[in-house]
Chains A and B, each alone.
Chain A
Amino acid sequence: MTNPSTITANAPAGERLRKAAVYGQSLLPPILSAVVVLGLWEAAVRTYSIPAYLLPAPSLVFEVLIDKFPMLMRQLGFTAMASAIGFFIALISGIAIGAAISAWHVFDRAIYPWLVISHAIPKVVIAPLFLVWFGFGMTSEVLFVVVFTFFPIIVNTVAGLKGADPEMLQMARSMSATPLKVLWKIKIPGALPTIFAGIKISATMAPVGAVIGEFVASNVGLGHVLIQAVGSLETPLAFAAVVVISIFGIIVWYAAEALERVSIPWHASQRISTTG
């Protein structure tokens, strides 16, 4: 057809172009569906003259978002801080409790039912109790985030550590490994992919927990903004706050994914990006 050397020389550029095209194509459906949904929403509000306090048009929400942006960002700062502190407490205590459960059978039997019960209780219902127990402010909010997010971390840590390959452990025994070294060099690295699955779930739940905490026990943060806005029928502002919380949640998810990619590049779930 053509000179083979020309093909080779052009291949990288062509390959890049092809990949960009594939990526673009994969972005098209979500963008298209968003345009359609927002367009229909906007059209419906205008056509039926729905009042803004009932359902604001996307364009109005956007307007408020721009107008109140500095305030929303300041309030997001409070929510983000409570989420982060609560999440890290949940992360560290969750991994520690998970490790203890997987290591000691008695501890497992003693504590696991309580964990399941604590998970089964609807958290939103107990949020006001936190106000009674820990007072109005950051402490209640942070502790609520902890309670809201620790379960997936514990469950995944236990699953990861208990899932260690028995043959691998036998091999370690044949190498005279101490239990601590087995934990450090085999069990924990092997459990990381599972633990990360829990981290990703918990990290995105943390801002939700913080917002619920702010509903009842705070006079700052996006949860507070939301409850105030709804109370005074400033529905466009409430929508703007929801948009900010959602975008923050998405950023947290991708941050957790990026951390996962850096931490466990060897895992099967991450290999496509390293080879392709």
Chain B
Amino acid sequence: MSATRSIAGANQRRDIVLDGVSKRYGTLHAYGPISFTVEDGTSVSIVGPSGCGKSTLLRTIAGLEPSTDGVARFAGQPITKPLENVGIVFQRDLLLDWRNALDNVLLPAEFRGTCDDATKERAARLLDQLGVGGFKQAYPWQLSGGMRQRVAIARSMVCHPAMLLLDEPFSALDALTRDQMNVLVQDVRQNENVTTILITHSIAEAVFLGDRVLVMSGRPGQILDDIAIPFPRPRRLSLREEPEFTEIVRRIRIHFERTGILVG
């Protein structure tokens, strides 16, 4: 995998490029046409109303759901099948009940046949970093929702993904745990320098975690705005009370108010 990394790195950047991509299911137009670029190593948040096709868009980028029009590219190659080098965190943690935390983290490595001692060490280290190092042998049902999602994040990172896709990963968690997770994800992705796309309903979360925020319209989802988030990293949670932060949040909210998604 390091070979892939260096070849891609030497020849070209591993940007994600969407060019006029759209998706239809029969007469239902899910999203698009959408065009944007996520530059290698950056973090982009996509915020939009329910049913705007943002999760479908994410699956298109992962290669799980081919688009009907346009081209999505990763590192210059069209995405036509599930990408190998991608880590995904879903809204549900999807941990396997019969595996302890550590073995759940190792699952993608087992699937790829790369589960060696170094990977096991990395899995343990990731769990430590995410604050669940003391629960490596615990089974999913012995963990709280927040802890389970931390294990899921460790699982998504264990194979050194070139791309991290987060599909509303914290929407089932309580507000306090969600804040903790925002900080943890920021730290982990900073350490790993992994290109990240976050799908979320939370405007504050989108702004806090993104280098850019893409605002999507209702179905068929299109990009209404592309906002650069200038705050340096690491960001602190208290940033969310700063006037510059709230100004960006307001700008996004106005989009939703204008399109009738938010009222008041």
Report A's interface with B, CB cutoff 8 A: 165, 167-168, 170-178, 181, 185-186, 189-190, 192, 264, 266-268, 271
Contact = CB atoms under 8 A, between A and B. Distances in A.
Interface residues of B, number: 20
A175 B98 contact: no
Given A174-B82, A185-B96, 14 more contacts: A165-B94, A167-B92, A171-B88, A172-B111, A173-B64, A175-B111, A176-B84, A177-B111, A185-B107, A185-B110, A190-B97, A266-B97, A266-B141, A267-B98
Contact of B94 (A168, A264, A271): A168
A85 B218 CA distance: 62
A170 B94 CA distance: 10
Contact of A186 (B83, B96, B141): B96
A206 B65 CA distance: 48
A181 B111 contact: yes
Contacts of B84: 176
Contacts of B245: none
Contacts of A168: 94, 96
The 10 nearest A-B residue pairs measured at CB: A177-B111, A175-B108, A175-B111, A266-B98, A189-B98, A176-B84, A266-B97, A174-B88, A171-B94, A173-B82
Contacts of A175: 107-108, 111-112
Interface in B86-134: 86, 88, 90, 92, 94, 96-98, 107-108, 110-112
Nearest to A174: B88
B57 to A, nearest CB: 15
Interface string B63-84: 0100000000000000000111
B111 to A, nearest CB: 4
B64 A176 contact: no
B62 interface: yes
Contacts of B98: 189-190, 192, 264, 266-267
Interface in B127-147: 139, 141
B94 A167 contact: yes
Contact of A174 (B62, B92, B139): B62
Contact of B64 (A170, A178, A190): A170
A212 to B, nearest CB: 37
Contacts of B96: 168, 185-186, 189-190
A167 B93 CA distance: 10
Nearest to A184: B110
Given A167-B92, A171-B90, A266-B141, A176 B97 contact: no
A185 B108 CA distance: 11
Contacts of A172: 111
